[in-house]
Structure 1
Amino acid sequence: MSAPDRPPLKSITPATDGPRAAVPTPPPAAVGEPKGAARKGDRTAVVPDPHPGDGRRPVAWLHIVAPRGAVPTATSRCACGRDRSAVGHAKVHALITEHNDHREHCPLRNPQEGRAAA
């Protein structure tokens, strides 16, 4: 049994007749140059934001992890700089209560005015 004929693994480049002059390349286009419709002065349509905001934004986050049969953990964070965490059933319940209480008294959610601010 003989192996099938295979082409050689490397190709040999034939020798050139001599040196050749380099072919000049066209000058590069300016960076950011408009193409197509923009060059002609056609305006593009400006569409409104499909998801307009209602002015609300998140300020406080409560993240609870309670896998079945494992010890629960919780993290309470606020944009005002408050960052607390708890491990265990009793401490997680206490942190949930603290988090809700902080939301009621956080200076970012309830700005103080007048004498109370000073």
Structure 2
Amino acid sequence: MNHTGSPRLKSLTDTPDQPSTATPAAPVTVGGAPKVVAEGVLSSLLPDPRPADGRQPIAWLHVVAPPSWNTIPWATSDCLCGRHVEASGRRDVLVLIETHNAHREVCPLLNPAPERRQAA
């Protein structure tokens, strides 16, 4: 079997010189009104359901503890004051949870130092 020239392709389709014109689908009408937005999309802004009491998150504790005893759990503790601690393994994760809770007492963002009066 002697093969010369370009390889044979299974199918060659001609590419049109110009793009085809697609016709848009007619809007679905329910009850006589045209549908202008997708279902589930809010068309107006709703008020925030959370009260604006000035609170904001300061510290985060992220623990990943898979249900399998063969998988090693891990955790991170982050705070806006700059604290970032990571731990892996059951014992270290439990210690990290304790130190995260203890950090609330010493965090400068949660417990600002009392302002000292300057001598006049």
Query: Normalising TM by the smaller chain, what interval?
Result: 0.5 to 0.7
Moved beyond 4 Å, runs of 4+: none
Contiguous gaps of at least 5 residues in structure 1: 1-8, 12-48
Q: What residue number does 1:77 align with?
A: 78
Matched residue count: 73
What aligned pairs does 1:1-118 form with structure 2 within 5 A after superposition? Answer: 50-51=47-48, 52-69=51-68, 70-114=71-115
- SS of 1:114's equivalent in the other structure is coil
State the Cα distance separating 1:63 from its structure 2 match: 0.1
Distance 1:67 1:113, change over 3 A: same
- SS of 1:99's equivalent in the other structure is helix
RMSD: 2.6
TM-score normalised per structure 1: 0.54
Bigger proportion of residues as helix? 1
1:18-45 superposed Cα distances (whole Å, 9 cap, x missing partner): xxxxxxxxxxxxxxxxxxxxxxxxxxxx
1:105 and 1:10 map into 2 onto residues whose CA distance is 71
Percent identity, please: 53
In our comparison, the structure showing a higher alpha carbon Rg is 1
Q: What residue number does 1:34 align with?
A: none
TM-score normalised per structure 2: 0.54
